[in-house]
Amino acid sequence: MLNGKKVIVVMPAFNAERTLERTYREIPFELVDEVLLVDDGSADSTLAVSQALGLTSFLHEKNMGYGKNQKTCYREALARGADIVVMVHPDYQYSPKLVTPLVGMIAFGEYDVVIASRILGNGALEGGMPLYKYVANRFLTAFQNLLIGQKLSEYHTGYRAFSRKVLESLPLEENTNDFLFDNEVLAQVIYFKFKIGEISCPTRYFEEASSINFARSLKYGLGVLITSLKFRLQRMHAGSFRIFAPDGRKLASGSSEEASLAPIADALTVSRSE
């Protein structure tokens, strides 16, 4: 807890058994009240490691996608009374120690959302980011800043913190269940005029760290361009898209996506209607 705010870290996990414990051990528990992990149908022992560490664990019985995993993470964190939710990838690509500044910028009312940027500073390539990903990141970020009217250093980091109000207000159920979810969320944050801040974050690319392949990167890049165009068209009143609809489906709306939870082997299995 910080400044009277309950802090919950969520970990959307998929085949993270080799890096989960190392990530978990670096979380600053002096201010984190609880850690939740959602295993998205991993083929390895991610769930067993999570349970051994004492994390509140949830299981998607089949792989449902990165975006779907986050929706479960945020819904369960809100149900447990979180005032601030921090997403930490359990693949150890981002430093868990930076939870402290991420939370602080929200807990004291300066920002509604804070992202940890790999681009601020000079650490992205030094940390092993592939050159093609760095170039794509810079191009896509410049394109989005132009269309969306922001000056963010990047839109593609997976390390971010949210206030409760943001997660309850955004129509997150209208977003994709795939990797584009992250980018859609930031577009929504900006569209609905929440305050967004950035901190610099070192990144680590290594064998065990998760990363999408080249083909999926191309698909993601195309999705980013489309999301930016949707944003601009919606702002110009030249289009109408559900991801920017004020009455769009929200996590706490009790929609058909609501979780059905039952205890199974000390974990909770999350069943979703598609």
Tens of pLDDT, residues 188-246: 999 999 999 999 998 776 565 555 667 788 899 999 999 999 999 999 999 999 999 99
Number of structural domains the chain divides into: 1
**Residue 193 falls within a domain, yes or no?**
yes
Containing domain of residue 180, as a range? Answer: 7-271
**Residue 1 falls within a domain, yes or no?**
no
Tens of pLDDT, residues 88-130: 999 999 999 999 999 999 999 999 999 999 888 766 777 777 7
- Give the pLDDT of residue 250: 95
Q: How far apart are CA 70 and CA 56, in angstroms?
A: 15
End-to-end Cα spacing for the chain: 35
In whole angstroms, how large is the CA radius of gyration of the chain? Answer: 18
**Residue 148 falls within a domain, yes or no?**
yes
Tens of pLDDT, residues 21-65: 999 999 999 999 999 999 999 999 999 999 999 999 999 999 999
Here the CATH number for the domain that contains residue 156 is 3.90.550.10
Judge whether residue 261 has pLDDT over 50: no
Q: How far apart are CA 125 and CA 137, in angstroms?
A: 12
Of the pLDDT bands very low, low, confident and very high (cuts 50, 70, 90), residue 267 is low
Q: How far apart are CA 241 and CA 98, in angstroms?
A: 34
Q: What is the SS3 assignment for 163?
A: strand
**Residue 2 falls within a domain, yes or no?**
no
Structural tokens at position 150: 């922001």
**Residue 58 falls within a domain, yes or no?**
yes
Q: How far apart are CA 252 and CA 231, in angstroms?
A: 24
Q: Are 114 and 196 in contact (CB under 8 A)?
A: yes
**Residue 177 falls within a domain, yes or no?**
yes
- Averaged confidence pLDDT in the chain: 88
Nearby residues of 237 by Cβ (< 8 Å), 6 or more positions away? none
